[in-house]
Amino acid sequence: MQTTFTPAQLKDPAIERSNEILRSCVHCGFCTATCPTYQVLGDELDSPRGRIYLIKDMLENDRDPDAKTVKHIDRCLSCLACMTTCPSGVHYMHLVDHARDYIEQRYKRPFSDRALRWVLARILPYPMRFRVALLGAKIGRPFARFMPDARLRAMLEMAPKIIPPVSRNDDPQTFVADGVRKKRVALMTGCAQKALNTDINDATIRLLTRLGCEVVVAEGAGCCGALTHHMGKTNESHATAAKNIRAWCAEIDGAGLDAIVINTSGCGTTVKDYGHMFRNDPLAVDAARVSAIAKDVSEVLMDLDAPAATHAHDGMVVAYHAACSLQHGQQIKTYPKDLLRRAGFTVVEPSDPHLCCGSAGTYNLMQPEISQQLKARKVRTLEAKNPDVIAAGNIGCMMQIGSAASMPIVHTVELLDWASGGPKPPAMTGGNSPKSDVPILR
């Protein structure tokens, strides 16, 4: 694609990077075949190719965004299926991230949009604030149908029926490896996940220590910054990301780390991109160090050569949902399925597994109509496989699918933990998250 940026414009590192991306696009349109919003809406401007043209026009002309451009950029899920499909290697993620930052700086949204984004940015990345908000949403949930704004209804309806107790395992500490130590790793405990489901981190710690990992929850680490990053709130996202970089580098420079383990794939995609995000920042070197050892939990488990199952589960059928941030953002497609099969589960996949479930961070709250259509499609294709349970590697997908599926949904690590000697996932027994004073180790 030909571009016409001026030499002055190209002095801006963000423009320079976007120019590289735009020039790699050959307008082939392969991306439209796998774009969820194009599948649902049928509008070329709601496809990656259409959005690329809108972004190019906006950036080249150095113009303030108009409502039309903002609407179509906002409708992008950032599922990154287009990057998997693209034969030219167009790095759409960096381009749309730049566009969102540009829009945030130069477009004044309607008051209701600004208010919603302000609330989400100041609640979701903070576990205790999020817990209080979930409690309020739970109380208000019966009145959701009376809300005139679909986004407010979605916020009320997202509240789980049972809000799990705080897990003290998420506090800064070190968990000793069982037997001979093979690795020393830091576990990213996240933000929203700590409020929505404490079983995931507990199972991850049990499983990793059982396989010989010393697991560190680093002092000062928290939200990865993804939620605000995808809203274009760059200063806020970089501030939280910087805390993680400093916290993990302190561990790297101290006792050392073999990996930073991430069990929420949406966070993993962002942490692995810290090197790019901070490339022009004083933290550039440390950010690159963090990105270099950031690993999805499935990558670490494959490297540890997780053993076959020790607990029988009668060949239970597991429908594996591939989170977009894992299969497209990190290009990890087979590891979770390989691990589940090694543990003795029968693994099935839905049709069109490349299509998004509609969660996409805060997308289900800001674009609820499109999100609901994608959720209905995903649940329908998963249930068509008649599984005993659904497994996924991202809390957002779990909440989205779990709100409509007729069978339980759990994190992949919960099944692997159970198969190798841990407790049966509470979601499969009708139980709640374990109390915070229950030991997680065997």
Under 8 Å CB-to-CB from 103, ≥6 apart: which residues? Answer: 65, 69, 70, 73, 232
Q: Could you give the count of Cα atoms lying within 13 Å of 260 in the half-sphere of its Cβ?
A: 32
In what helix (H) or strand (E) does residue 73 lie, and over which residues does it extend? helix 67-74
Asked if 48 contacts 57 with a C-beta cutoff of 8 angstroms, the reply is: no
Q: Over 50: is that where the pLDDT of 121 sits?
A: yes
Contact at 8 Å (CB) between 402 and 196? no
**Phi and psi of 62, rounded to 5°?**
50, 45
pLDDT classification of 200: cutoffs 50, 70, 90: very high
CA distances from 94 to 1, 208, 290 (A): 17, 33, 19
**Contact in structure between 245 and 287 (CB atoms under 8 Å):** yes
User: What is the model's pLDDT at position 47?
Assistant: 96
Q: What gap in Å lies between CA 219 and CA 221, rounded to an integer?
A: 6
Q: Per-residue pLDDT for 142 more than 80?
A: no
Q: What is the pLDDT of residue 227?
A: 94
Looking at residue 433, its pLDDT comes to: 40
Both structure tokens of 37: 């919003």
- Kindly state the average pLDDT of the residues 56-64: 97
Residue 98 has pLDDT above 60, yes or no: yes
Give ∠ CA 112-113-118 in degrees, rounded to 5: 100
pLDDT tens digit string along 276-322? 999 999 999 999 999 999 999 999 999 997 666 777 677 799 999 99
**pLDDT at residue 64 is higher than 90:** yes
Give the number of other CB atoms < 10 A from CB of residue 46.
Answer: 22
CB atoms within 10 A of CB 67: 10
Rounded distance, CA 65 to CA 159, Å? 34
Backbone angles phi, psi at 213, to 5 degrees: -100, 135
pLDDT at 435: 33
Looking at the predicted structure, is the pLDDT value of residue 272 above 50?
A: yes
pLDDT tens string 202-211 = 999 999 999 9
Q: Which two tokens stand for residue 154?
A: 């979605």
Place of tokens 């070329």: 44
Report the candidate in 228, 221, 237 with the shortest Cα–Cα distance to residue 188.
221
Neighbours of 117 (CB within 10 A): 19
Q: What is the pLDDT of residue 385?
A: 97
Domains contained in the chain, CATH given: 9-106 (1.10.1060.10), 115-157 (no CATH), 168-302 (3.40.50), 306-429 (3.40.50.1860)
Residue pLDDT, tens place only, 411-436: 999 999 999 999 999 999 875 443 33
pLDDT tens string 249-262:
999 999 999 999 99
Percentage of the chain modeled with pLDDT above 90: 85
Q: How far apart are CA 145 and CA 255, in angstroms?
A: 53
How confident is residue 156, by pLDDT bands cut at 50, 70 and 90? confident
Structure tokens at 310: 């020790």
Element housing 319 (H / E) = strand 317-320
Dig out the tokens for 121 from the structure.
Answer: 């940015």
Residues 171-177, mean pLDDT to the nearest whole number: 96
pLDDT tens digits along 377-404: 999 999 999 999 999 999 999 999 999 9
Q: Token digits for 254?
A: 């101290």
What is the bridge-based pairing of β-strands 317-320 and 183-188? Answer: unpaired
Q: Which percentage of the chain shows pLDDT scores above 70? A: 96
Alpha-carbon dihedral of residues 394, 398, 238, 223, nearest 10 degrees? -90
How far is the C-alpha of 243 from the C-alpha of 6, rounded, in Å?
36
State how far the Cα of 352 lies from the Cα of 301, in Å rounded to an integer. 26
Average pLDDT of the chain to the nearest whole number: 92
Average of per-residue pLDDT across 66-83: 97
Q: Which residues are registered as beta bridge partners of 260?
A: 186, 294
Cα 149 to Cα 133: distance, rounded to the nearest angstrom: 18
From start to end of 147-266, where are the E strands? 173-175, 183-188, 213-217, 259-262
pLDDT at 441 over 70: no
Helices (H), 75-170: 81-85, 92-106, 111-123, 127-140, 150-157
